[in-house]
């Protein structure tokens, strides 16, 4: 049965291509949605870009026929722009409220075209509740929604014979496991002895060879810039961060799991010790926690300093500076002055091509899928990019734990051979921080 999907303004601003996302069903856009979208068209933000894109899509359809009568969509449905003159129910008496006018169009369609069930699509929770109270079927929109509890972790466990575990400790070890088709490229595996579960070995699935290979040697004993992994997840993360064949790494974890510290340590090692990359480039989205303090004075670098302070704290921790060193003026700026590290504002990254660099994007859960696409497509030859974040700590009002850019990348790249992912759960910042992350 063909349905009528009525789209709210926030759906089109979230994903302009949602027009094409309902297969053989009809797509209805109330004229009041167009009026609301028109208010965003001059914005320089992503909302403004999406508003202009929606207008271009609709204008291209207008060339094929009348939007009032309906224009055929690629998958067989019909796109229409509708309005209504009907009297609103008493519960929607304020006819000047755009939400009410949009709901009125949906109700009108539900009554006039009973052969095509009307489904109201909006990302506004309260509007879905109001629509339901009026007898409308209301649903959220998310083209690729992934529940955070179902997110790919990058890690699994396997029970294997004792000799397989022993084999992993030999030089040049590689083991072949049954059921490899269920493993993703660079997925980590904890091999457990069938007869003695405490006898284990850690490995990573190499999709090119079709075998499980050991983690990179030396990290546990020698460390990376003085940092040694404290748990299994950190060992997995460092293996991804230090592997030059993996060009995109995503690390998801709650506060205190060591995501940012490990990424910066690996980046500094690759730049200063191995010389694999020319520079470490670090950035993070500018979203305040709580009420914003307003505009910041000074140069771009001075404006960025408060947002980048968590990065600077990690760098100075890795530099192992004493109190006397800090009093003498030593600090993170030494690496910046030497050209080994650069702080980048994501605002100005569009249009750039960034080769031969180790890029870290911290707090990536505050980015939209489009913003993440813009960043990753800046990557040039011999550049590695790391995205870190915690989907449960989001400050951007336009994304949530299931549709942010970090989760989007994890879902899209989990089967790609140049990408790797690990979800970290064990906090190592302090006993108090770990307790707060679990209890609060």
Q: Could you tell me the two tokens for 3?
A: 């349905």
Provide Rg for the chain, Cα atoms. 26
Q: What integer is the mean pLDDT of 147-168?
A: 84
Q: With a cut of 70, say whether residue 229 has pLDDT above it.
A: yes
**Beta carbons within 8 Å of 152's beta carbon, 6+ residues apart:** 184, 410, 411, 414, 421, 423
Q: Which of 417, 361, 368 is nearest to 389 (CA)?
A: 361
Give me the percent of the chain exceeding a pLDDT of 70: 89
Whole-angstrom distance, CA of residue 85 vs CA of residue 343: 55
User: Under a CB-based contact definition with an 8 Å cutoff, are residues 264 and 280 in contact?
Assistant: yes
Instruction: Tell me the whole-structure pTM to 2 decimals.
Output: 0.73
pLDDT category of residue 337 using cuts at 50, 70 and 90: confident
| Mean pLDDT of the region 329-339 | 83
Q: Which segments of 9-77 does DSSP mark as H helices, in order?
A: 9-14, 31-38, 46-62
List the strands of the sheet with 384-389, edge to edge. Answer: 341-343, 279-283, 357-361, 384-389, 248-253, 419-424
Between the alpha carbon of residue 40 and those of residues 112, 286, 294, the distances in Å are 32, 21, 22
Q: What is the structure's pLDDT at 170? A: 82
CB distance 175 to 198 below 8 Å: no
Cα distance between residue 138 and residue 60, in whole Å: 28
Helix, strand, or coil (residue 85)? coil
Q: Is the pLDDT of residue 283 over 70?
A: yes
| Local structure of 348: helix, strand or coil | helix
State pLDDT tens for residues 298-308: 666 666 777 77
**What integer pLDDT is reported at residue 289 of this predicted model?**
45
Q: Which two tokens stand for residue 134?
A: 């009026």
Return the number of other C-beta atoms located less than 10 Å from residue 174's C-beta: 15
**Looking at residue 236, what is its pLDDT?**
94
Which pLDDT belongs to residue 328?
Answer: 79
Q: Which helix (H) or strand (E) holds 358?
A: strand 357-361
Measured at the CA of 21, the angle between CA 15 and CA 24, to 5 degrees, comes to 160
Number of neighbouring beta carbons within 10 Å of residue 38: 12
Q: Choose the weakest-confidence range: 63-67, 96-100, 212-216.
A: 96-100
* Mean local confidence (pLDDT), 189-194: 91
Helices 405-413 and 369-376: angle between axes, nearest 10 degrees: 60
Cα 209–Cα 188–Cα 277 angle in degrees, nearest 5: 75
Q: Is 356 helix (H, G, I), strand (E, B) or coil?
A: coil
Please, which pLDDT band fits residue 293 given cuts at 50, 70 and 90?
low
Token pair in block for residue 4? 């009528």
Neighbouring residues of 212: CB distance < 8 A, sequence distance ≥ 6? 168, 174, 175, 176, 177, 189, 191, 203, 204, 205, 206
Q: How many angstroms separate the CA atoms of 361 and 91, rounded?
A: 47
Higher pLDDT, 313 or 88: 313
C-alpha–C-alpha distance, residues 175 and 433, integer Å: 39
Mean pLDDT score of the chain, rounded to an integer? 84
pLDDT of residue 120: 93
Residue for token pair 């899209």: 412
Q: Per residue in 354-413, pLDDT tens?
A: 899 999 999 898 888 888 888 999 899 999 999 999 988 887 777 777 778 899 899 899
The pLDDT, as a whole number, for residue 360 is 94
Answer yes or no: is pLDDT of 90 > 80. no
More confident residue, 87 or 239: 239
> Does residue 290 surpass a pLDDT of 50?
no
Q: Which of 9-23, 123-137, 164-178, 259-273 has the lowest mean pLDDT?
A: 164-178
Indicate the SS3 state at residue 276.
coil
Query: How many other β-carbons are positioned within 10 Å of the β-carbon of residue 305?
Result: 14
Residue with tokens 């140049």: 418
Tokens 């800090």 — which residue?
326
Q: What percent of the chain has pLDDT over 90?
A: 28
Residue 323: predicted pLDDT: 77
């Amino acid at each position: 049965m063909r349905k009528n999907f009525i789209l709210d303004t926030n759906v089109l601003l979230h994903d302009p291509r949602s027009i094409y996302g309902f297969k053989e069903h009809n797509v209805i856009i109330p004229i009041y949605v167009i009026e609301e979208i028109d208010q965003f068209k001059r914005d320089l933000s992503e909302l403004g870009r999406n508003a202009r894109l929606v207008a271009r899509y609709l204008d291209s359809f207008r060339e094929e026929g009348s939007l009032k009568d309906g224009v055929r969509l690629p998958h067989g449905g019909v796109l229409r722009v509708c309005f209504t003159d009907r009297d609103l129910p008493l519960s929607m008496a304020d006819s000047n409220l755009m939400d009410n006018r949009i709901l009125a169009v949906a109700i009108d369609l539900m009554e006039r075209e009973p052969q095509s069930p009307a489904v109201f699509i909006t990302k506004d929770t309260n509007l879905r509740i109001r629509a339901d109270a009026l007898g409308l079927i209301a649903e959220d929109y998310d083209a690729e929604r992934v529940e955070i509890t179902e997110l790919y972790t990058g890690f699994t466990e396997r029970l294997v014979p004792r000799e397989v575990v022993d084999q992993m400790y030999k030089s040049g070890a590689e083991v072949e496991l049954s059921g490899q088709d269920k493993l993703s490229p660079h997925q980590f595996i904890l091999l457990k002895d069938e007869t003695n579960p405490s006898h284990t070995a850690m490995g990573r699935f190499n999709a090119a060879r079709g075998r499980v290979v050991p983690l990179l040697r030396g990290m546990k004993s020698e460390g990376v810039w003085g940092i040694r992994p404290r748990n299994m997840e950190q060992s997995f993360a460092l293996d991804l961060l230090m592997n030059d064949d993996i060009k995109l790494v995503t690390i998801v974890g709650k506060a205190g799991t060591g995501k940012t510290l490990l990424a910066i340590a690996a980046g500094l090692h690759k730049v200063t010790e191995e010389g694999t990359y020319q520079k470490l480039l670090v950035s993070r989205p500018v979203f305040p926690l709580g009420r914003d303090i307003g505009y910041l004075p000074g140069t771009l670098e001075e404006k960025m300093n408060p947002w980048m302070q968590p990065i600077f704290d990690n760098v100075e921790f890795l530099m192992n500076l004493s109190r006397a060193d800090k009093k003498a003026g030593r600090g993170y700026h030494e690496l910046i002055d030497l050209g080994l590290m650069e702080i980048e504002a994501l605002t100005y990254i569009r249009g750039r091509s960034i080769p031969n660099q180790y890029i870290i994007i911290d707090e990536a859960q505050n980015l939209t899928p489009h913003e993440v696409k813009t960043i990753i497509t800046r990557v040039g030859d011999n550049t590695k990019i790391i995205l870190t974040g915690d989907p449960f700590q989001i400050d951007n009002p336009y994304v949530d734990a299931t549709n942010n850019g970090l989760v989007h990348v994890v879902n899209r790249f989990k089967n790609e051979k140049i990408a790797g992912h690990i979800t970290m759960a064990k906090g190592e910042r302090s006993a108090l921080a770990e307790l707060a992350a679990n209890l609060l």
